[in-house]
Amino acid sequence: MISLTLSRIADVLGGTLVLRGADSADTVVSGTVDTDSRLIGPGDIFVAKPGEHADGHDFVAAAIERGAVLAIVERPLDAAITQIVVPGAVHALADLARFVVGEVRARGALRIVGITGSNGKTTTKNMMARILEAEDETVAPQASFNNEVGAPLTMLRITERTRYLVSEFGASAPGEIARLAGLVHPDIGVVLMVGMAHAGGFGGIESTFVEKSQLIHAVRPGGVAVLNADDPRVAAMAGIATERGATVRWFGRGSAADVRAEDVEVTPEGTRFRAVIDGDEFPVVLRVLGEHHVMNALAAIAAATSLGIRPEACIERLQAMELAERWRMQPMGSERVRIINDAYNASPDSMAAALRTLAQITAPDQRTVAVLGAMSELGEYAGEEHDRVGLLAVRLRIQRIVVIGSAARRLYLSAISEGSWDGEAVFFETADEAYDYLMSELREGDRVLVKSSNSAGLRHLGDRLGESFS
C-alpha cells in the first residue's frame, strides 16, 4: 500500500483511531493489507473481518505475532496494537481501496484494466498480467480474488510506483460489479462473455447481462471497452460504451473484430492460430491447453494494444505461458495416462469447452475419460443444464463418463438416456469411490478430464490421479 498516516486512514474510513504503544496520529504505515492473519508480515495491516465460520477479531493476536502494526476492527480490542474502529470491515476495505487508487491515479501514471465475464476471467487476468509485468510494475489478483473482499485487497497492493492495475470482477448477486468497478473506474473494461455461470444468483441470463454490463457503465470517459464481437449480449454493450464516451475495441473469431483469430488448430501441445491485429497478421502458438483460451488471448491482446503495447510483445509473452492457473486445464500425469485437472470452477459454457478440448486432443488410438461433478450456483436452471452436459458428453463420443456426487446425478441420467450404456457412464457418490474405480479402470493412452465447480472438491481428486500416474 502507499504510505499513509494513521490519522489519514482513520479519516478515510470514518473510523475512530485507538492508539497503542509509541504510535501517534502522524505515524506512517505502508504495509500490505490482508484479512488472513496467516499472510501478515512485519509492518502490515490486518482487517478483522467477521466471516460465516470465523471472526477475524479472534485472530488479531496472531496478526500481532506476525508483525502487524495496525488492526482495522469493528469493535475495540484489549490488544497491543493500534486500531481503527469502523462500522463494517468490508466497507472499510472498499473505502480504503477507492482512496488509495485515487491517490496513485492522480499522480498520472496508473492505468487500470477491469475484466469480467461468465467464464475466462482468471485466465484473461493472468494473460494480461504476463503481458503488462514485462513493461512496468503491475498488480493483479492472486487466484480468483474478484469479490467484495478479494478485489479491494488486490487494489490495496498498489504502491506509488505501480503502473498497471488489473482488476477481475466477479459477482454472485446483482449490484456487485457496479460496486467493485465503481471503486476504480477502469481505463479499459473487458467483457468476455455472458453465459449461465451464477445464473441462479441473477435470475437468468438476461439479468446476468445487466450485471456484466455494469463494468462498461463504470469505464472512465475516454476509456476503451474491449468487447466480444461473437457474443450478441456482449456486443450489445457497445451502446453503453458510446454513451460513456468510450471507444469500442472488438475481439473474436469473426471478420468484424479488430483482434481476431483465424486458422485455429488444437493439439495436445497447445493451440495454433493466426492473429489478425488491426489488419496485421501474426502466427501464435499458445501452450495453454484448450481452444477456448484463444478468445481469452484475443481479449488480452486487444486490451494490451489499447495501452500502446506492441502486438509482437503481447504474443511473445503469451506464448511463454504454460499454465493459466492451478486447477484450470492443468496437465498432470504423464504421456502414459494424461490427467487434465480443470476442477476449480465450472459452468455450462466452461464444461462444454473442456469436453470439446478433451475430444480434440485425443488421438484415435487413445481413450477419452470425463470425470465430472456438479456445476454450482445455477439455481432453477441446474437440472436442465446438467442434462445438457450429459447429452454433450455422449454426442462428443466421450468413451467413459464418470459422474460424482448427488448434485450431478442428472448429468449421469442424461448420458444414460442419450445412449451411454454398457458401463460407458458410471455414477459414484464420493470422490474416494470414483478414485478406486479409476485406478482399476484407467489404462495406457487414456486422456482424462476432471471437471467440476470448486464446491464439488474434485480438484483434489484430479491431484491424486495426477500423482498416481506421474
The domain that holds 96 is classified in CATH as 3.40.1190.10
Task: Verify that 129 and 199 share a domain, yes or no.
Answer: yes
pLDDT band at residue 201 under the 50/70/90 scheme: low
User: By CB neighbour count within 10 A (0-12 exposed, 13-18 middle, 19+ buried), where does 437 fall?
Assistant: middle
Task: Verify that 49 and 113 share a domain, yes or no.
Answer: no
pLDDT at residue 196 above 80?
Answer: no
Task: Verify that 257 and 310 share a domain, yes or no.
Answer: yes
Mean pLDDT of 2-24: 97
Task: Verify that 218 and 339 share a domain, yes or no.
Answer: no
Which of 31, 66, 87 terminates a domain? The answer is: 87
| Sequential DSSP letters for 101-125 | HHHHHHTT--EEEEEE-SS-HHHHH
pLDDT at residue 143 above 80?
Answer: no
Q: How far is 171 from 200, CA to CA, in rounded Å?
A: 11
Q: What CATH number does residue 453 fall under?
A: 3.90.190.20
Structural domain boundaries, residue 458? 330-468
Q: Residue 391: which of 348, 340, 451, 449 has the closest Cα?
A: 348
Q: What phi and psi, each to the nearest 5 degrees, are found at residue 134?
A: -80, -15
Task: Verify that 424 and 307 share a domain, yes or no.
Answer: no
The secondary element (H helix, E strand) that includes residue 284 is strand 280-286
C-alpha cell belonging to residue 302: 486487444
Task: Verify that 265 and 334 share a domain, yes or no.
Answer: no
The pLDDT of residue 346: 86
Reduced to 3 states (helix: H, G, I; strand: E, B; else coil), residue 404 is strand
Least confident range of 61-70, 73-82, 411-420: 411-420
In angstroms, the Cα distances linking 249 to 119, 188, 292 are 19, 10, 20
pLDDT digits (tens, 9 = 90+) for 76-134: 999 999 999 999 999 999 999 999 999 999 998 999 999 999 888 989 999 999 999 99
- Is 421 part of any domain? yes
Reduced to 3 states (helix: H, G, I; strand: E, B; else coil), residue 55 is strand
> CB-side exposure of 438: number of CA atoms within 13 Å?
33
CB neighbour list of residue 299: distance below 8 Å, 6 or more residues apart = 115, 120, 124, 127, 190, 192, 226, 228, 251
- Is 441 part of any domain? yes
The pTM (predicted TM-score) of the whole model is 0.86
- Is 52 part of any domain? yes
Q: How far is 73 from 45, CA to CA, in rounded Å?
A: 11
The pLDDT of residue 53: 86
Q: How far is 250 from 257, CA to CA, in rounded Å?
A: 5
Number of domains in the chain: 3
DSSP state letter for 325: B
CB neighbour list of residue 108: distance below 8 Å, 6 or more residues apart = none
- Is 314 part of any domain? yes
Which of 65, 87, 109 terminates a domain? The answer is: 87
The pLDDT of residue 420: 61
- Is 69 part of any domain? yes
CB neighbour list of residue 72: distance below 8 Å, 6 or more residues apart = 13, 15, 45, 46, 47, 48, 83, 84, 86, 89, 92
Q: What CATH number does residue 55 fall under?
A: 3.40.1390.10
pLDDT digits (tens, 9 = 90+) for 339-362: 999 998 888 989 999 999 999 999
- Sign of the dihedral defined by the CA atoms of residues 462, 465, 469, 470, in that order: positive
pLDDT digits (tens, 9 = 90+) for 440-458: 999 999 999 999 998 888 9
C-alpha cell belonging to residue 112: 487500470
- Sign of the dihedral defined by the CA atoms of residues 139, 308, 245, 254, in that order: negative
pLDDT digits (tens, 9 = 90+) for 248-286: 999 999 999 999 999 999 888 889 999 999 999 999 999
- Sign of the dihedral defined by the CA atoms of residues 261, 262, 265, 270, in that order: negative
Query: Average pLDDT over the chain, rounded to whole?
Result: 93
Q: How far is 320 from 55, CA to CA, in rounded Å?
A: 42
| Beta pairing partners, 426 | 402
Task: Verify that 192 and 283 share a domain, yes or no.
Answer: yes
- Sign of the dihedral defined by the CA atoms of residues 151, 152, 157, 159, in that order: positive
- Is 324 part of any domain? no
Q: How far is 94 from 89, CA to CA, in rounded Å?
A: 9
- Is 325 part of any domain? no
In angstroms, the Cα distances linking 149 to 69, 92, 412, 419 are 20, 10, 36, 45
Q: CB under 8 Å, gap of 24 or more: what pairs does 239-243 form? A: 240/213, 240/216, 241/189, 241/216
The pLDDT of residue 87: 97
Task: Verify that 142 and 278 share a domain, yes or no.
Answer: yes
DSSP-derived pairing of the beta strands 425-428 and 280-286: unpaired
Task: Verify that 310 and 366 share a domain, yes or no.
Answer: no
C-alpha cell belonging to residue 298: 484475443
Task: Verify that 306 and 179 share a domain, yes or no.
Answer: yes
Which of 22, 53, 87 terminates a domain? The answer is: 87
Q: Residue 358: which of 376, 370, 346, 343 has the closest Cα?
A: 370
Task: Verify that 280 and 344 share a domain, yes or no.
Answer: no
Q: How far is 20 from 84, CA to CA, in rounded Å?
A: 11
Task: Verify that 295 and 422 share a domain, yes or no.
Answer: no
pLDDT at residue 408 above 80?
Answer: yes
- Is 9 part of any domain? yes
- Sign of the dihedral defined by the CA atoms of residues 41, 45, 46, 49, in that order: negative
